[in-house]
Structures are given as structure tokens and as C-alpha cells.
Structure 1
Amino acid sequence: MVDILAFPRQLSGFLWPMADDALPSSGPTIRRDVTVVAGLWVLGLMLLLAAEANLGLFLFLNIVAVSAAALHSLASSTLIPGVLNRKRPFLRYMAKCFLLLLLAMVPVGCLALLLTSNKDESSVFAFVNSLFQFLFTAPLSWVLYRRRARGQEAIEGLKQELGQSEATLELLRSQINPHFLFNALNTLYGTALQENGERTAQGIQMLGDMMRFMLHENHQPRILLARELDYLRNYVELQSLRIATSPGISIDTALDEVPLGSSIAPMLLIPFVENAFKHGISLQHKSWIKVSLHVTDNRLYFDVYNSIHPKSEATLPDETSGLGLANVRQRLALLYPGRHELVIRQTLGEYFVHLTLEL
């Protein structure tokens, strides 16, 4: 026995299949489109009334506008999402629109017949309306939906990349901070062994200032460049305490005053200086470090120049060697893309770093 109710259900499944994997439609977007169409419709009615247009043309444009709004809303919410994950989605979508508009010719023709009381005229109205919707409204709805879908995918991709960048920055910061703290504590320990007096107290005070900086300002996206230089000066002075009794070591710094209000990403300069102290100082050989910084036309120029010494075979390899420089390279790429230039050169006895940065 044939189930009479089966055909409507099958037709409904063809026109409006479930599309769980399709891009979700945007209710506010559809409402906005319908509102625009309604506004244009009202404007057209006012112009027709002002021009005292023919009644038949007046009714036809009303039917076309209402049909276009209804088809666009249905296409954006149901018809297009239902075919996106299938083969030849556009052809499937147009086939559904064709069948839907074919079926809609009957109620549209009846409506036109009620309004015009002319059977031939109403049939023409219904046919021309369906033809217009199929050739214009249906393709336009497809183009608008796909354009919005690509825009939404781009936004989601940017959100994901931003989340990954923020996570990477947090990881880099977590690597830099403990690495430096252990070095600073070792410096204080060595100083305390030499003498238990003013130098130790001075070192502890500077370390406290630096730890406050790291706790309160290091996690901000940008800080004043003057604060970054204060931290850099404290670091150099703290390291200088360790080598104060070694006459063969020279430390020269030329850190110019920077413009008020200039800002920079925190902990961006210190890894270069830390690397210079780590690899450029030897208590057995003559060593030197030169650090300079100046700002011109909102462009920062930073140079670190230091001696290097060959390691003896008995020296154990340092697993953290180069960690700070690798981190700062990644941070520069993330935070200042296309706005920095980093040049690093090394010879048998010298190491040179030059950083140019647009603030």
C-alpha cells in the first residue's frame, strides 16, 4: 500500500536535509538582508505611487519583492547549508530552488488572481516571478552566503592564530624569566662568598627592583622604554659586582635618554646583554663588553659588542646556551613583523649584535 504522507516527507528531506557539518547560518545577518530588501521595497512602492504607475506593475513588483525576501531567507538558513558537504553543491542548490519555485508558482498565481481577477495575467505574473527568482535571487543568495562563510572562516583562523601567538609568548616569557633569575642568584652567591658587606646589600637591592619589574610589568604587552632601560642598567650593575675585582674585564655602556612616552615589549633587550655576559666574560682572559642604545625618529638602535673565548674540552656544554636569543628572535617575529632588523655576527674572538626596531 502506498503511503500518501510519504511524498511530502521525502520532498521535505530533499529540500531541507540536515546539515550538521555545514557552516551555521547567521540569524542577525539574514534579518539584516531581509530588512534591506523591505526598505528597498517600501522605497519602490513610494516611487510607484508618486508616479501613479499601472496597477498591474505595482502588484507585480510587490510579489517579486516579497518572494525574493522569502527565498533569500530560506536559502541562507536551510537550502545552502544543506548542500555544502555534498558533490556539486551549487547545482544541487539550484535544483532545489527550481523545484521550490516551480511549486511556488501555484500559490503565487492564486494570489495574483485574487488581486487582478485576470487568469492570464496572474499566470504570467507567477511564471515571470519564478523565472526572476531563479536567475537572479537564487544565485545572488549563494554568492552572499559563500562570501560570508569565507569571512567567518578567516575570522576564526585569525582568532586561532592569535591564541597560539599569545600562548607562545607566555611560553617564551616563562623560559626567559627563570633562566635569568638563576643567573642573578648565582651572581649574588658569588658576591656573598667574597665579602659580606655593602656590595652584597647593593646587589640584593637591585635584584629586588628587578624582581618587582618582572612580577608587575613583565606580563604587560608593552611598557615604557625608560622602565626597560632601568631594568637593563640594574642588570649590568648587578653583573658588574661579580667582576669588580677583575682588572682585565671592561664594561662600557652608553644608554641615551629616550623620548617620553616611548614604549616597547618587555624583556626584549635583556637577552642580548645576558648572552654577552654569559659568553663574553672570562676571569682568566682579557674580556670586554660594550652596550649602546639610542632612539632617533621613533626608531631604536641597540648594539651589543663583546669578546668571546674558546671553551676548553673540560668545560661541560651548556644546555641553555642560545635559549635567550632563540626566544627573542621568536618574540620579534611575533610582536614586530616587518618592523625590525636583527644582525648577528661572530668571529673567532668577537660577537656583535645590532637591533633596529620601529617603536
Structure 2
Amino acid sequence: MNIKDLNKIEFWAASFIYGCAVLMLISNGSSAYTEVPKEFKDAYIEYSYLSNYFLPELFRYSILYFSFLMLNFCCLPPLYRKVDIGFNTAILLATYLISGLVISITRTYTQTYLLSQYPDIDDAYTQIFFKGFTYSAWLVLLICIYVALKKLLIYFTDNKEDSTQHRMKLEIVFGMAFWFVGVLLWLAAGVGFDVIICWTMVVIAGIFTTIYSIYYIIPTVSSVVNPSRTFYGKITIIAFLTGIPVGLVGALIGSRGELFIIINLFHIPAQLAISAPLAWYIYRNRNATEQEIFTLKKELGKSDASLGFLKSQINPHFLFNALNTLYGTALQENAERTGEGIQKLGDMMRFMLQENMQDKISLSRDIDYLNNYIALQKLRTSLSVDIIISTEIEEDFSSLQIAPMLLIPFVENAFKHGISLQSPSHIKVTLQTKGHTLYFDVNNSIHLKADGDPEKLQSGIGLPNVKQRLELLYPKKHELIIRESAKEFFVHLTLNLA
């Protein structure tokens, strides 16, 4: 998240709210606000719209606006970074004192009628000023928490981790930021403490309901006949059950028993009309997005894998080695073996150019390619008695299908790193099926490449690629175990082809 863009949004949003508040003050000049309020009449105190309402409220809105700008943009960010702590702490205290003083003075004008309720005028001003600085302390505290939540939000947004816990934390931070923005707006509007309590309890309950629905309720009801009806039924029960502790906590904090009923009058409709539809929308939208991303990754992975296999197979190095093998065989043997080698090579090339481009092919065709590759490699190593190549591959695979070129990379890797014409070598390939489950094992010796060999530092052919394809094409339907010792390399793949 770009912090400069966020700062611009915050500045213009705060300026817009401030401008709207000033316009409302001006428009109130022709409304009932020009009449003498009941409190002033009862206290027999003279009332002036300009001095007892317009100017005090204008100063109060202005100090709230400039305090937010000062703390949010100038003071708190460097304080959280521990930069110029003394200077920025002084600015923080000065902002608190100035805002407290301005708010207290404006209260002496907007609530002049309170002066008559105290026996001593000095005591009255002390109480009014004390409440003004208390209001200012809450304001500064809320802005500090808002900036902290904003930093957390930026951190979680910039963090590319895609775990459930990370997303849940990010959504909680979003919810708390929404709550604090609401509290700031309520404070700016000058509402009573009971309104803030009600807002707090309803929003916190809404955050809980929304997140709990997204991660626990909706996934469990998605497979039922009527998921929306089941979901709303559960949300209704949760709304009524959570209404009890939410109402009790709010009533205890506000020290008013009637807050229990008032909070629930807002809590239950809010969960049913706002939290539940919001959770349903977020889940469906996120699920569709994740499915689309998964499909795109899957298609991209298949395309990249196919291209990678073609590049690894149809390249001068491979063709040169294959032709050299056939040429050497032609010199040492009769044309029958040479023709056999050429035929197998042709079958492999045809497979790569045609069937390799399909999403799935019959397992028997993929095994044909595997057998052709092994047979072609045996031609190259048949004259060495120290090289043992054994295969145990079933021939009956019924109608099983598999994504092409998933098995061959492990065999290619075995021949690349497991064969040495100068040292004893072995490769064993085993493939079996049971029902819809395929069991595939490759075991080979390991020989270090010579220092001058350009492939010495290269990894196995296509192994990272095939791991990625397995994750994309067979998620939670495969188990890949790779073990390596000083002299042997072992691969075990269990694959559910259902």
C-alpha cells in the first residue's frame, strides 16, 4: 500500500468532513438552532446564536480537524518510528493542551446554562474545563490508536503471506479501523457517551459475526440444499445469543440498565441486515477470485510445464546424444536395432508434439512414452555390464487417465545423475496401481559430474516443474517423498487419479 496515496485520501476525507460540518453550521442559521434552547430558558440565561452556538462549534470543529492533521501526519508517525522522540512528544502534549483549552472554552459558551447548577462560579468553570480536557485526552488517545491501526493495516496489506490467520488479522484490523473512524465522527458530532458505547458494542459484535461467518459458518453450509436459508438461520441464533453478553457489557460500562435493550435494538438488526450479507458477499467474492486465480495458475503452470518439457527434450543437446547413440549402434550392431531406436525416438517426438498438449491422456499412453525413453537409454548403456537398469511396470491400467509428462521427469533425473560409464550404476523404476491410486518409485545411484561438465550445478530435469504441476493439478491428492543419501536418490509418488 502506497503511504503517500493513503495520506492524500485521509487528508481529503478529513477536509471534506470538516467542510460539511462548517456548511451545516452555516445552514443551521436559518433553522431552529437560532431559537433559544430550553436549557437556557430554564436557567434564565441570555442566549445568542452567534456566541453560544455558531462560533463555539466552529472553533470546536476546527480544533478537531487541525489536531487530527497535526497528530496523524506530523507527530505520531515519527514517534512510532522512534524519530525525534522529545520534539514530537512536545508537539503531542502541546496539541493536547491547546485542543483541551479550546474545547473547554467553547463548552463554557455552549453550556453556559450549567453555570447556574453550581453554587460557586469557580467550581462550575473548573468542572466544565475538566470535562473539556478529558474530552481532549480521549480525542488524542483515539487518534493515536487510529494511527497504530493504520500502520498495522499497511503492514498486513504489504505482507504477501496468504494464510488464513494472516487474512483474519487483516480483517480484524480493518474492522477496528472502521470502529475508530466511527468513534471519531461521533465525538466530532458531540454525541453522548451512551451513543459511543452502543456503537462500540454493535461494531465489535459485527466484526466477530462477519469473520466467524466467513471462516466457519459459510464453508460448512455451502454443501447443503439451501445454503442461504441455513446460513441466515444460524446467524439469527448467533445474533440473539451474542446480544446477551453485548447488552450486559454495554449496560455495565454505561451504568444504565436500559442500555441492554437499546443496544440489542441496534445489535440484532445490524447483524442480520449488515454483517450477514457482508460476510456472504466477501466469502462468495473471495471464493470466486481464488478459484479464478487457481485456474489461471493451473493453466499457466501447464503451459509453462509443457513448454519447459519441450525445451528440455527437443533441443540440440538431446537430439545430438540420441543420434550419436543410434550412430554408434549402427556401427556396432545390425540395422534392426538401429531401426528400433529410431522408431522409439519417433514415437517419443510424436507424443511430445501431440498428446503432451492435452489436459489428460490415458495412463497407458504416458507409460508407453516412459518405456520408450527407458528403452532408448538402454541402447546407450547396453554395452556396460556395470550398469543395471530394471523396471517393474504394470501393463493393465484399465481406463485411468493422468496429466501428461508427470512421471518422466523423475526417470530423466535418474538417468541424468544415476548413470556413469566409468562406475557401477543402477536404476530401478517401479509402477503399480491399486484402484484409482498410482504408486510410482524411482531409485538410482548418484554420481558426481566432472568439474568441466556444464550440467554439474544444474538441478534435476523438471523436478521443480513437476512439483508445481502436482500442486496445481492434484491438490491434496498426491504424496511426493524425495530422499537422498551420499550414494542413492529415492523418489516415491502416490497419486490419486480418481
Q: TM-score, normalised by structure 1?
A: 0.59
Aligned to 1:186: 320
| Secondary structure in 2 matching 1:285 | coil
Aligned to 1:63: none
Matches within 5 A, 1:15-34: none
Contact 2:449 2:455 in 1 (8 A): no
Matches within 5 A, 1:291-310: 291-310=429-448
Aligned to 2:308: 175
2:288 aligns with one of 134, 149, 155: 155
| Secondary structure in 1 matching 2:395 | coil
Once residues 288 and 448 of structure 2 are traced to their aligned partners in structure 1, the CA distance between those partners, rounded to angstroms, is 51
Q: 1:141 to 1:301 in 2, by over 3 A?
A: same
1:334 positional shift: 1.8
Once residues 329 and 136 of structure 1 are traced to their aligned partners in structure 2, the CA distance between those partners, rounded to angstroms, is 49
Matches within 5 A, 1:1-359: 140-143=272-275, 145-151=277-283, 152-182=285-315, 184-194=318-328, 195=330, 197-318=335-456, 320-359=458-497
Once residues 411 and 350 of structure 2 are traced to their aligned partners in structure 1, the CA distance between those partners, rounded to angstroms, is 20
1:29-74 per-residue CA deviation (whole Å, 9 max, x = no partner) reads xxxxxxxxxxxxxxxxxxxxxxxxxxxxxxxxxxxxxxxxxxxxxx
Q: 1:228 to 1:312 in 2, by over 3 A?
A: same
Q: RCO (CA 8 Å, sep 6+): is it higher in 1 or 2?
A: 1
1:88 positional shift: 5.8
Once residues 322 and 337 of structure 2 are traced to their aligned partners in structure 1, the CA distance between those partners, rounded to angstroms, is 9
| Secondary structure in 1 matching 2:374 | helix
User: 2:305 is aligned with what amino acid?
Assistant: L
1:232-283 per-residue CA deviation (whole Å, 9 max, x = no partner) reads 1011111112122223222111111233111112111101111111111111
1:338 positional shift: 2.2
Contact 1:225 1:262 in 2 (8 A): yes
1:138 positional shift: 7.7
1:162 positional shift: 2.0
Contact 1:257 1:294 in 2 (8 A): no
User: 1:297 is aligned with what amino acid?
Assistant: G
Contact 1:300 1:356 in 2 (8 A): yes
1:181 positional shift: 2.9
1:321 positional shift: 2.6
Once residues 134 and 355 of structure 1 are traced to their aligned partners in structure 2, the CA distance between those partners, rounded to angstroms, is 57
Once residues 458 and 476 of structure 2 are traced to their aligned partners in structure 1, the CA distance between those partners, rounded to angstroms, is 28
Aligned to 1:29: none
1:217 positional shift: 1.7
Contact 2:482 2:492 in 1 (8 A): yes
The structure richer in helix per residue is: 2
Contact 1:340 1:357 in 2 (8 A): yes
1:136 positional shift: 8.2
Once residues 351 and 145 of structure 1 are traced to their aligned partners in structure 2, the CA distance between those partners, rounded to angstroms, is 54
Once residues 350 and 91 of structure 1 are traced to their aligned partners in structure 2, the CA distance between those partners, rounded to angstroms, is 65
Q: 1:135 to 1:318 in 2, by over 3 A?
A: closer
1:3-36 per-residue CA deviation (whole Å, 9 max, x = no partner) reads xxxx9xxxxxxxxxxxxxxxxxxxxxxxxxxxxx
Once residues 231 and 199 of structure 1 are traced to their aligned partners in structure 2, the CA distance between those partners, rounded to angstroms, is 18
1:328 positional shift: 1.4
Once residues 271 and 354 of structure 1 are traced to their aligned partners in structure 2, the CA distance between those partners, rounded to angstroms, is 13
Q: 1:343 to 1:145 in 2, by over 3 A?
A: closer
User: 1:157 is aligned with what amino acid?
Assistant: E
User: 1:176 is aligned with what amino acid?
Assistant: F
Structure 1 runs not aligned, ≥5 long:
1-6, 8-83, 96-132
Once residues 342 and 254 of structure 1 are traced to their aligned partners in structure 2, the CA distance between those partners, rounded to angstroms, is 19
Q: 1:276 to 1:145 in 2, by over 3 A?
A: same
Q: What is the identity percentage for the equivalent residue pairs of Structure 1 and Structure 2? A: 43
Contact 2:326 2:342 in 1 (8 A): no
Contact 2:414 2:442 in 1 (8 A): yes
Aligned to 2:89: none
1:137 positional shift: 7.5
| Secondary structure in 1 matching 2:357 | coil
| Secondary structure in 2 matching 1:218 | helix
1:221 positional shift: 2.1
Structure 2 runs not aligned, ≥5 long:
1-26, 28-174, 187-264
Aligned to 1:27: none
Number of aligned positions between the proteins: 246
